[in-house]
């Protein structure tokens, strides 16, 4: 029997009719959520969000490091470390949420070994910052359909990087949609390594909409997560095609939550 996971609303794309992000947070709370997440923070009302979090008792499961900088280009490493430091400082009032890191694009002329070594060095540098601040970084593999030249488009490679850095403050964000776009076998790529995954996000194939609108076998997804021993939350990072109450009803039905 699969487990029922706590669900986190991506208020970047959901409850948009409520207006600003702090109002979306309150709308998510009214819809029954205790968790939420969004993307970049510099263009968001951080102070108003902090007030809304305090009033609702909600918790953020993830915010992106802003600005995004490459982990494989040494020329951007100092800017990456600065971005992580500034994001940690800015989001402290939001409850020190986990911070999402993408890889950036491949660097022309570098071998696979050089890409990997550069990524490990950069992630080690920002993991040191995260350890000092008591914050968790989430490394997120994406896909080549959205970003043809993105370096990290493999769950296995992402987990290899997390293992190589070997920091308790660096974990993987596993996105079911990105993984499916890349044709991965979920059970296979996560086998024996679920302890390195701190957050899971979902959307249906192919159009990144709510579970139940596409081809993903959601009973199999939730059963696989349960079999592997995943114990975190599930982020609903999808574009709704239905009014939010109907979208959430369908999603909860498909995820058995």
The answer to whether residue 1 scores a pLDDT higher than 80 is no
User: Which of the 8 DSSP states describes residue 216?
Assistant: -
Model confidence at 166, in pLDDT bands (50, 70, 90)? very high
pLDDT at position 126 over 60: yes
Provide mean pLDDT across the span 160-184: 98
Q: Helices 244-255 and 218-228: crossing angle, nearest 10°?
A: 50
Is-catalytic flag, 237? Answer: yes
Cα-Cα-Cα-Cα torsion 53, 136, 80, 194, nearest 10 degrees, comes to: -120
CATH number (3.30.479.30, 3.20.20.150, 3.30.460.10, 3.40.190.10) of 7-255 reads 3.20.20.150
Task: Give the DSSP letter string of 46-92.
Answer: HHHHHHHHHHH--EEEEEE-SS---SS-GGGHHHHHHHHHHHHHHHG
Cα–Cα distance for residue pair 90/76, rounded to 1 Å: 21
Task: Give 104's pLDDT tier (boundaries 50, 70, 90).
Answer: very high
**Average pLDDT in the chain:** 97
DSSP 3-state of 161: helix
pLDDT over 80 at 2, yes or no: no
Of 242, 240, 236, which Cα lies nearest the Cα of 35? 236
Tens-digit pLDDT profile for residues 128-142: 999 999 999 999 999
pLDDT of residue 63: 98
Look up 112 and say whether it is catalytic: no
Q: How far apart are CA 16 and CA 244, in angstroms?
A: 9
Q: Which of 12, 140, 184, 210 is catalytic?
A: 140
The predicted model gives 170-174 an average pLDDT of: 99
Active-site entry in 12, 37, 184, 237 = 237
């Amino acid at each position: 029997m699969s487990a029922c996971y706590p669900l986190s609303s991506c208020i970047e794309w959901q409850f948009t009719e409520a207006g600003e992000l702090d109002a979306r947070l309150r709308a998510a709370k009214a819809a029954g959520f205790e968790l939420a997440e969004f993307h970049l923070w510099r263009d968001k009302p951080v102070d108003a969000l902090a007030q809304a979090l305090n009033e609702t008792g909600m918790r953020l499961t993830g915010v992106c490091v802003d600005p995004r900088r490459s982990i494989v280009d040494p020329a951007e490493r100092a800017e990456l470390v600065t971005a992580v430091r500034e994001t940690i400082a800015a989001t402290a009032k939001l409850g020190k949420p986990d911070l999402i890191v993408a890889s950036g694009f491949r660097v022309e002329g570098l071998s696979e070994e050089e890409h990997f070594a550069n990524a490990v060095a950069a992630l080690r540098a920002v993991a040191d910052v995260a350890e000092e601040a008591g914050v968790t970084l989430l490394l997120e593999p994406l896909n080549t359909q959205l970003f043809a030249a993105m370096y990290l488009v493999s769950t296995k490679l992402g987990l290899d990087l997390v293992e190589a850095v070997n920091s308790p403050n660096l974990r993987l964000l596993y996105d079911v949609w990105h993984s499916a776009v890349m044709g991965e076998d979920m059970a296979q790529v996560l086998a024996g390594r679920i302890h390195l995954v701190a957050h899971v996000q979902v959307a249906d194939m192919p159009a990144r909409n709510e579970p139940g609108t596409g081809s993903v076998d959601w009973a199999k997804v939730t059963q696989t997560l349960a079999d592997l021993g995943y114990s975190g939350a599930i982020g609903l990072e999808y574009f709704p095609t239905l009014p939010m109450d109907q979208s959430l009803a369908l999603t909860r039905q498909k995820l058995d939550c």
